[in-house]
Homo-oligomer: A and B are copies of this chain.
């Protein structure tokens, strides 16, 4: 995905392929979407010796030009004919076309544009499965043309004989696609070419649901443009919004379908979309979009220099830490005591020292004196800290302690413990265990920054993520992949290709210092959600918020996300079997945080609408090592 859209030109029938191709290229279109068969000829040339040739001469274009042709194959209604002979011939004809297209393009990635005509999802799925089950065709990608708005709905509006429910459900093109994809086992080789029709579904949720699907390209027919006073093609406000949404969250691949290759407005269509894409605020994290990353375990693994540098660059985070420390210093030391009193501030997990810097600034700004105990266990970071103290902070009162914070003793207890141990789910980098292990060094009056952390969950639909997980498990079956069972792992993910099935709800809270006796950081909780529309549950997004000091918070909760803070992506808790949801279905998830002597881990299970297995049972697949 990039800012600038990639364009394709759709001309169903080319009288002159070479010329049409050249025109498409001249308009900076990546590929020409068109049929390559001579419809009049219906012979089966692949197996007999008839001198007939059912396609345009393959040598009209060079093999490398064919790479830039996206061939259309029509799954015509004869596929669902009652007459077995017609049905059989119809299917043969399709397989024949696909065999030839594969010959024409294989070695360069074979993408085929499927026009479903009006046969049912099941029939199409059956034929596609025949092809997908053939190993020789594992390099084929199918894009299925789906209208975002089924024209028949327009008619229904006026049909009083239909119940509201019928109106809502009868012609939901997403349900057609969903059935088709379900019946091909959600194959990664099938994606959607979504036609943005002149009419759009009345309910926005029906549109947003597509944002969670694997939409390979948007198809924009000429008649989805309207004409302004000066006779230029433009779009309705709502169309503009839809196009921009897809451009920013799903795909930047746009197929323009003009009246014909002679349509003199083609350039205007393209320019207009480019213009629209200018309004898309495209996030620089885009490379990480909808990818899955295994969470860091900074307690168990030592981070490297680059990782520290990246996180230190966060524009928002350390300013908030500095403010929090300033506020705390002012609360602890009155104006009068300024010169007399020195606050002992212990920073646990210093890394390369961003929190030391924040603390020094805070003391500077508040004119409060501090003594810093800098605790770090990573030998690499220790070397850096030593150099920093030698080269930059030689005149500051900083004591470096090269230890794991959990087994430390000090003569003198401290006033403030500062740490930044939270992960995307708050406690998932074991901040509770670490801070509990060090809080005995805190004075009774002492405080911890942060003061707490909370975790949150939200049910989501995200076909792309699910596809990645499928691939990982497939790899797992053919090779010893890195992460044996991807559905049992709580991933980090910057999810854009997403549909929020319901709102975010709070799960667990951890308070620091932890005054409970005995301290127990295991948790169990159950949350109830509800789906408004037909959709698919792929798993749960996880977020956290943390109160650093009083009203100074950091958050990755979608509604309260700290401005400009980029250090944390969301968590994603997959489910091993995805669940089809109907309107008003309840979703209940039960969630555990468990602990033994060596590790901490999460387990989760869906209880409604149906029971799932318990994921990551005993933390066998995804342990977080103590």
Q: Are A59 and B352 in contact (CB under 8 A)?
A: yes
User: Which residues in window 371-416 of A have CB below 8 A to B?
Assistant: 378-384, 386-391, 400-402
A380 and B103 form a contact (CB under 8 A): yes
What residues on B are CB-neighbors of A57 within 8 Å?
A: 384, 387-388, 390-391
Q: Size of chain A's interface in residues, with CB distance under 8 A?
A: 56
The answer to whether B58 and A384 have CB atoms under 8 Å apart is: yes
Contact partners of A401 in chain B: CB under 8 A: 49
Residue A163 lies at the interface, judged by CB distance under 8 Å to chain B: no
Kindly report which residue of chain B lies nearest to residue A55, judged by CB atoms.
Answer: B383
Q: Does A62 contact B (CB under 8 A)?
A: yes
Fill in one digit per residue for A89-107: 1 if any B CB lies within 8 Å of its CB, else 0.
0000000000110111111
- Taking the complex as formed, is A176 at the interface, i.e. its CB lies under 8 A from any CB of chain B? no
In contact, A402 and B49 (Cβ under 8 angstroms): yes
Number of this chain's copies in the assembly equals: 2
Residue A302, interface by CB 8 Å:
yes
Report A285 CB to chain B, min CB distance, Å: 17
A302 touching B103, Cβ below 8 Å: yes
User: A103 with B479: in contact, given A53-B386, A54-B383 (CB under 8 Å)?
Assistant: no
Interface residue? A262 (CB, 8 A): no
In chain A between 249 and 271, which residues have their CB closer than 8 angstroms to a CB of chain B? none
Chain B residues lying within 8 Å of A481, measured Cβ to Cβ, are: 479
Chain A 37-52 per-residue mask, 1 if CB under 8 angstroms from chain B, else 0: 0000000011111011
- Shortest beta-carbon distance from A376 to chain B in Å: 11
A-B contact pairs, 28 of them (CB 8 A): A45-B383, A46-B383, A47-B402, A49-B402, A51-B386, A53-B387, A53-B390, A56-B387, A57-B387, A58-B384, A59-B384, A59-B391, A62-B309, A63-B305, A63-B308, A63-B309, A63-B310, A64-B306, A64-B309, A102-B304, A103-B302, A103-B380, A106-B305, A107-B304, A107-B306, A479-B479, A479-B480, A479-B481
Q: Can you name 16 extra interface pairs (CB under 8 A) apart from A49-B400, A63-B308, A63-B310?
A: A45-B383, A46-B382, A46-B383, A51-B386, A51-B389, A55-B387, A56-B387, A59-B391, A64-B309, A102-B304, A103-B305, A103-B380, A105-B306, A106-B306, A107-B307, A479-B479
